[in-house]
Amino acid sequence: MAKQKYLLVRVRYDKRVASIEPLGLEYLAGVMKEKGRDYVFYDEVFYSRLFRFRRIIKNIEENNITAVCFSVMSNNADYILKMINKLKKVKPDLKILVGGPEVNINYKDFFLDNIDFVYYDYGLDSFRIAVENDLDTDALKSATGIAYVKDGKWIHNPCGEPITDYNVKPDRSLFYENRKKYRIIAKGSFSLMKSSFSCPQECNFCISRQFNGCFYAERSVENVVNEIMEIDNNRIWLCDDDFLVNKERVIEICNKLIEKNCYKTYMIFARADSIVKCEDIMPLLYKAGFRDMLVGLEAVEDNILDSYNKNSSVEINEKAVKILRDNNMVCNGLFVINYDFKHKNFIDIHRFIRKQKLVWVLFSILIPFKGTRIHKENKHKLYKYRYGRTDGTKLLMRPQNISAVLFKVHFALLYYINFPRIYLAYLLKTYDKKYLNKGPNQ
């Protein structure tokens, strides 16, 4: 069988807040590089909205592409499926592979006529088999977590065991060549990295726990530190769901980075209760360069936090914000807007932000992702639910206490009132002046 040549596609998305490195596709590229297969990255965020389909066809033809891989998120799935249908109509012999977060959770939704392979395994071992054998289905009989069409029928194998590492280095060449195009508003250009898989918490609205078979696992400290050292960027976003879960591991990572004189700036996700638990090691975290935390505050009322099964409280949230402020760290407040909100709930969020002096904030209307408990419990309430509307700005259930119009106005005002502070921080270069890790004497 002739060697396949791959096009790795990340489709367009709203990049006003952030344009981030396509880490998932870079891991696939790492496997292809390991197996000596040719591939080309194609990131739509680089290009205008005009002539999108014509552009991807040109890319396929100029590079003699035989297989196209799509990384599917919930909010881009509809767009990708439409593109796949158009591609197959023009080039029926093209092999189409889909994977990514949404496929990992709801893979059977992608057993469709114009898709040839669906990849949903936790790790990349089965993908290695597929690439090494140039998508020969006879070689995939015992491969875990991959589905394919054989004799007109879908064959799908169960997932393998949960993983503790991908065991391959991502090919970051696309990021390195285009780092100015990948940026986070008012913060600069961050490389993405994972040091753990899944999440040990059970928030009922969050899809993250479902990954890796709901099994929380950590990469070894040595592998994490080595990858940080190898990344050619001084700003790194460790996109684990809660980097501070294992306090002893965090201490070990920080100490090793300091020992190696690695002076980089790190952004992480951290739960409020984890920040409180790690209060005594905040000076160490700061010294190591961990100065930017995205904190799922979610709500400013205990009853709402309880409804999310957050296992936290407003008191803990307030203490976490204070700890970060006292240690000169960024607190990015992440809030979830629920459908039972009244006028007072929106006002309370504004007051909390002002009282806690938060600058970086993000808001999302509750998304009942398919595969979460909150989706199952509210399936009968879903309103115009489809993939393309799961971006956190659309109503997916009807508001219970105010009109839909007033709900949307309140949601828009959260951004209009609070985002000017972020733009001001960008103009004043606040992040670089105040939070960037500039070395041991800072």
What are the residue boundaries of the structural domains of the chain, listed by start? 5-156, 185-434
pLDDT, residue 89, reads 97
Q: Which fold has domain 5-156?
A: Rossmann fold (3.40.50)
pLDDT, residue 1, reads 65
Q: What is the pLDDT along the chain (442 residues), one digit of tens a residue?
A: 689 999 999 998 888 889 999 999 999 999 999 999 999 999 999 988 889 999 999 999 999 999 999 999 999 999 999 999 999 999 999 999 999 999 999 999 999 999 999 999 999 999 999 999 999 999 999 999 999 998 889 999 999 999 999 999 999 999 999 999 999 999 999 999 999 999 888 777 788 888 888 889 999 999 999 999 999 999 999 999 999 999 999 999 999 999 999 999 999 999 999 999 999 999 999 999 999 999 999 999 999 999 888 889 999 999 999 999 999 999 999 999 999 999 999 999 999 999 999 999 999 999 999 988 889 999 999 999 999 999 999 999 999 999 999 999 999 999 999 999 999 999 999 999 999 998 776 6
Q: Nearest to residue 145, comparing CAs of 114, 162, 122?
A: 122
pLDDT, residue 259, reads 96
pLDDT, residue 142, reads 92
Q: Report pTM.
A: 0.95
Q: Nearest to residue 99, comparing CAs of 124, 84, 120, 126?
A: 120
The dihedral of CA 82, 87, 93, 95: what is its sign?
A: negative
Give Cα 370 distance to the centre of its chain: 16
Q: Show the beta-strand stretches assigned E in 299-431.
A: 330-337, 361-365
**How far apart are alpha carbons 161 and 333 in whole angstroms?**
35
Share the mean pLDDT of the chain.
95
**How far apart are alpha carbons 144 and 122 in whole angstroms?**
9
Pick the CATH number of 185-434 from 3.40.50.620, 3.30.450.20, 3.40.50.10210, 3.20.20.70: 3.20.20.70
